[in-house]
Each structure stands twice: as structure tokens, then as C-alpha cells.
Homo-oligomer: A and B are copies of this chain.
Amino acid sequence: MQQLALTPSFLGVKIDMGEKNLYTRCMNNKKTIGDLMHAHGLKKTPIRTGMLELFMAHDFALSASDIVAKMTAGHDKVTIYRALNSFEEHGILHRASEDGHGIKYAMCSSHCPDEPHTDKHAHFVCDVCHQTYCLEDVEVPEVEVSNEFSVSRANYTLCGICKKCKN
């Protein structure tokens, strides 16, 4: 079970190997990165291998441009985008936040503070019409978070089909 397939010498990608536990994400059922791709009917190419190694070597989420920047061997961003889409379609990567179709604004209520703020209610984004509704009566629930993080705002967004698009 040689796990050395993971040695990130590839492509000149510099990877800090400090956080071993990240490996468990894909290694804990005896899968190498290559096995993982093959299991999904994807080809094991240098770029895609390098990308997945990058993901395993970081404890935070990466954007397309993060990856373009970290891969030294000047690859085309189109390739990166297509690989990310493919990984997402196969459930190898998940997106760590809804992208949204641009920023949307809504009217504040009279008890809002006179400064930029996130409101205390949840929002709903329709997958069909992409409209965003303020759910004024749905409070954002609170959660317990490790005190490594100082939380100042919370955002709760539901997705699905809106009242208009259900018909």
C-alpha cells in the first residue's frame, strides 16, 4: 500500500506536509489520488493529480486562481476550471459556499443599524429564477465554534425552488 504516490514533488508544487491528518480525507479507504480518479472514470493526469495534492496539503478551501497561482508550471486557467467542475460533479470536491449570481441587496428594516451589517434573518435563493428572498421571520440559528475563530457575523442561506417557480 505505497502511499508515496502522494509525494508532491510534482510540477514543482510546494507543499507543506505538516498536517498528516488531511491525508485521511482520501486515504482512509486505501485510495491513492490516482485510485480516486480512476474510481470515477477520470484520467490521472499530472495537472489533476497536482491539484488534488494541493487540496490535501491545505486546511482551507482553494479557489481557481489560488490553484493557478500555486501550480508553478503555467497551466491554462481553463484547464483548472474544467478540472474543478469535473471534481465537483464527481463528488471529489465540494464548494465551500454558494457563489451566487453577483451580490444582491435588500432594504433594511427600520431597526437596522446605520452601518454595514449582516442581518439576523436567513435568505432563500431560488435555483430556477435565482431570485433572493429575505426570510425576515427565520432567525439565523447560533452554533458553537472552536475559539480559534472569532466569529462576528453569520450567514444562513437556503436554496431550492421559490413559490413562483413551483408552478
Nearest CB in chain B: distance from A107 CB, A: 5
User: Contacts A62-B104, A103-B63, A166-B150: A97 and B94 contacting too (C-beta < 8 A)?
Assistant: no
B159 x A118 contact (CB < 8 A)? yes
Copies of this chain, whole number: 2
Contacts of A84 in B (CB 8 A): 105
- Chain A contact-residue range equals 35 or more
Partner of A124, one of B113, B127, B132, B145: B145
Partner of A110, one of B29, B95, B99, B101: B29
Contacts of A116 in B (CB 8 A): 88-89, 91, 94
A149 x B162 contact (CB < 8 A)? yes
B115 x A61 contact (CB < 8 A)? no
Partner of A97, one of B91, B148, B157: B157
A35 interface hit (Cβ, 8 Å)? no
Q: Which 8 A-B pairs have the closest CB atoms?
A: A61-B104, A148-B163, A141-B141, A61-B132, A61-B106, A152-B160, A93-B105, A91-B114
Query: A residues engaging B (CB < 8 A)?
Result: 22, 25-26, 28-29, 40, 52, 55-56, 59-66, 84, 87-110, 112-119, 122-125, 127, 131-135, 138-139, 141, 143-146, 148-163, 166
